[in-house]
Amino acid sequence: MMTRHDLTLGIGALVILLTLILLIRLEPLPSAPLAERPAVMSSQFLTDPFLQDPTPTSVVVVWFTEFEGQGHRVYWGEPGQPPPFSHQVMATSRPLSRSREDPDSHLNHPDFADLTGTVPRPIWRHQARVEGLTPGQRLPYQVSSTPRQGAPFYSPVFSLAPAPQAGQPWRVLLTSDHQTMPMTAANLQKVEETLGRVDALFLAGDLVNVPDRASEWFDDSRGNAFFPCLQGRAHYPLDRGGRTRYYRGGELIQHAPLFPALGNHEVMGRFSYTALLKEQFNSPRPRSVAIQDYEARANLFNPSGDDALRRRWIIDNSFNSDTYEEIFTLPQTAVPNPDRPEQTSRYYATTLGEVRLVSLYVTQIWRPYQRQATVQGRYQEREADLATPANWGYGQHIFESIAPDSLQYQWLTQELASPAFRQARYRVVMLHHPPHTLGDNIVPPFTDPVPRYDRDGEGRLRGVYYDYPIAQDQIAQHLIPLLESAGVDLVFYGHSHLWNRFRSPSGTHYLETSNVGNSYGAFWRDQTRPVPGPDHGTPQDYLAQGDPNGLEPVPPSLVAPQRDSQGQPLPYLASNDLTAFSLLSLPEGVVSSYYFDTRQPQSAVVKFDEFHLRG
Ligand SMILES: [Fe+2]
């Protein structure tokens, strides 16, 4: 029978135990070995850490939490060393300024249940640069974050390395157009299972669908958000033939730096506190229109002409890539604008061993091809909007010009003439919009839309139509000749969601490897793009089949090509069952492409194409 003395002893022991637990929880960083630290609870991070912007002696580590916290740190050790690690660096933290959710979000989160409108979602980003690294040496690392109240918690251990040296074996995954599409998690899981660890990822745009919707990046409840797919933490049910198989993605970017390019899905349109996020995504208008609008009203809200306020207003009333730019740490470019010195990461170049990578900002708003008066499309304004220019879409306008008079083009000509570019063994250019493709999105040409105003006899507007003069195609007329004359080996891109490749007479390879999560088909032989006919009144003759910029596709080199329903061989891959990825292997300079048949989950991945950058 328990006595009063026993009870007192018991309570005393409990108090000591609770005090010990409390002391352990209040333990200052990072004195205790990991074995005494609280268990890893990575669910308290919004992402695992991932790598960015390596130099020959350093690399940046980035991660996200849903709280501001304190004392965020990166720890790293010597090769093969288990934690606790001997080196550490404090991270800097900042909130994402535009991360939001709305009723269209797929999110199991108590703070965002039953949303009726668009609301901000607090998310903090932490980053630190790990310095003093040795090229060719991979080291273990982990990160820790500490909530305002509570104990620190620690990520699992991953590995980091600086940029490679020339000649070092190094492999780059070429991928794009993830967009929470059905096959993305399976694709990235097969990358990890087939290739093991890659050393870098080049991602040619369209990472998510609506970039200000936080859950698409971090925790979409369908199980296939951007970071989980690239970190092996997805849980996506893929239905094939009545059977469901779950895919987790691949543990890739915890160990390998990610180099993205801006796609049309990284750009938000006009900002609003209240409109649904997809509405905002679909409502960009050209900067020139926003500037005109600003100048007509500036004396009302900016009478002193404050320059920062002017710039913000124009951006908020046209388009922005703020969330993309806040999420990633990328090489910085000095914009060659003598009037306004500015750094940007929207286009950049960097050296990775014997590769010079140039990433461009070449994309435009995507608008529907239907030519109906009720559709705000690429070829016309909506009839209901004709009297209200504030509602116009302005066709498929370009976000950042690559015409010869543009700052981006001027920077590119400097870059292509630089010693870093000229001396690189391999020259790779990445952009989102396709220079050559059998896919849909190469039509109409990549030009500023030229408006045609149809008026009645009294001057009233009856229609606004947009033409895209082939002779003004910025990619075909200016960019391709510039890149080929500079000896670019590989131009890599996405946007049309298929795999196809081309080789120009001068030897430049063109590769689109965007049949990752889904496909919208290819336009070859009897398949025709929906282009306007002569009844549209356009002087343009948009190409309905094949590559409008004049190259023939190169069929897969290793296995028999896919066949159409008539048994004809197809020089491309455009499938919602097969998912494709490509790998650049260095120092060999070989690009290999693989597909996985999601209808046969147990089947082996098939290497179906291979070419040499100098072949
Ligand atoms: Fe796209």
- Tell me how far the alpha carbon of residue 432 lies from the centroid of ligand 1, in angstroms: 7
Residue at token pair 């251990």: 157
More confident residue, 123 or 301: 123
Whether pLDDT at 555 is above 80: yes
- Tell me how far the alpha carbon of residue 207 lies from the centroid of ligand 1, in angstroms: 9
- Tell me how far the alpha carbon of residue 528 lies from the centroid of ligand 1, in angstroms: 20
What's residue 200's pLDDT?
98
- Tell me how far the alpha carbon of residue 556 lies from the centroid of ligand 1, in angstroms: 24
Whether pLDDT at 26 is above 80: no
- Tell me how far the alpha carbon of residue 304 lies from the centroid of ligand 1, in angstroms: 40
Residue 122: is the preceding peptide bond cis (ω within 30°)? no
Whether pLDDT at 34 is above 50: no
- Tell me how far the alpha carbon of residue 362 lies from the centroid of ligand 1, in angstroms: 10
Task: State the pLDDT confidence band at 43, using cuts at 50, 70 and 90.
Answer: low
Residue 138: other Cβ atoms inside 10 A: 16
Whether pLDDT at 16 is above 70: no
Mean pLDDT of 540-558: 91
- Tell me how far the alpha carbon of residue 509 lies from the centroid of ligand 1, in angstroms: 21
- Tell me how far the alpha carbon of residue 514 lies from the centroid of ligand 1, in angstroms: 9
- Tell me how far the alpha carbon of residue 71 lies from the centroid of ligand 1, in angstroms: 39
What's residue 566's pLDDT?
81
- Tell me how far the alpha carbon of residue 495 lies from the centroid of ligand 1, in angstroms: 4
Mean pLDDT of 216-240: 97
Q: Which of 286-300, 521-535, 579-593 has the lowest mean pLDDT?
A: 521-535
Whether pLDDT at 364 is above 90: yes
Mean pLDDT of 25-45: 40
- The Cβ-side half-sphere exposure at 211, using a 13 Å CA radius, reads 28
- Tell me how far the alpha carbon of residue 157 lies from the centroid of ligand 1, in angstroms: 34
- Tell me how far the alpha carbon of residue 530 lies from the centroid of ligand 1, in angstroms: 17
- Tell me how far the alpha carbon of residue 209 lies from the centroid of ligand 1, in angstroms: 9
- Tell me how far the alpha carbon of residue 265 lies from the centroid of ligand 1, in angstroms: 6
pLDDT in tens, 300-315: 889 999 999 999 999 9
- Tell me how far the alpha carbon of residue 521 lies from the centroid of ligand 1, in angstroms: 14
Mean pLDDT of 527-549: 79
- Tell me how far the alpha carbon of residue 27 lies from the centroid of ligand 1, in angstroms: 48
Q: Which amino acid is at 102?
A: D
Mean pLDDT of 245-268: 98
What's residue 12's pLDDT?
45
What does the mean pLDDT of the chain come to? 91
Residues 252, 507: Cα–Cα separation, whole Å: 32
- Tell me how far the alpha carbon of residue 179 lies from the centroid of ligand 1, in angstroms: 9
- Tell me how far the alpha carbon of residue 51 lies from the centroid of ligand 1, in angstroms: 24
Mean pLDDT of 180-205: 97
Backbone dihedral angles phi then psi of residue 199, each to the nearest 5 degrees: -100, -15
Whether pLDDT at 194 is above 60: yes
Give 162-220 as a DSSP string.
-PPPTTS-EEEEEE---TT-TTHHHHHHHHHHHH---SEEEE-S--SSSTTBHHHHHT-
Give pTM, 2 decimals.
Answer: 0.92
Q: Which of 46-55, 73-82, 540-549 has the lowest mean pLDDT?
A: 540-549
Task: State the pLDDT confidence band at 560, using cuts at 50, 70 and 90.
Answer: confident
- Tell me how far the alpha carbon of residue 609 lies from the centroid of ligand 1, in angstroms: 24
More confident residue, 220 or 14: 220
Whether pLDDT at 261 is above 60: yes
In Å, how far are 174, 323, 373, 433, 517 from 584, measured between CA atoms?
Answer: 7, 29, 46, 20, 20
In Å, how far are 128, 211, 269 from 286, measured between CA atoms?
Answer: 36, 19, 10
297 in Cβ contact with 285 (< 8 Å): no
- Tell me how far the alpha carbon of residue 262 lies from the centroid of ligand 1, in angstroms: 9
Mean pLDDT of 387-410: 97
- Tell me how far the alpha carbon of residue 167 lies from the centroid of ligand 1, in angstroms: 34
- Tell me how far the alpha carbon of residue 206 lies from the centroid of ligand 1, in angstroms: 5
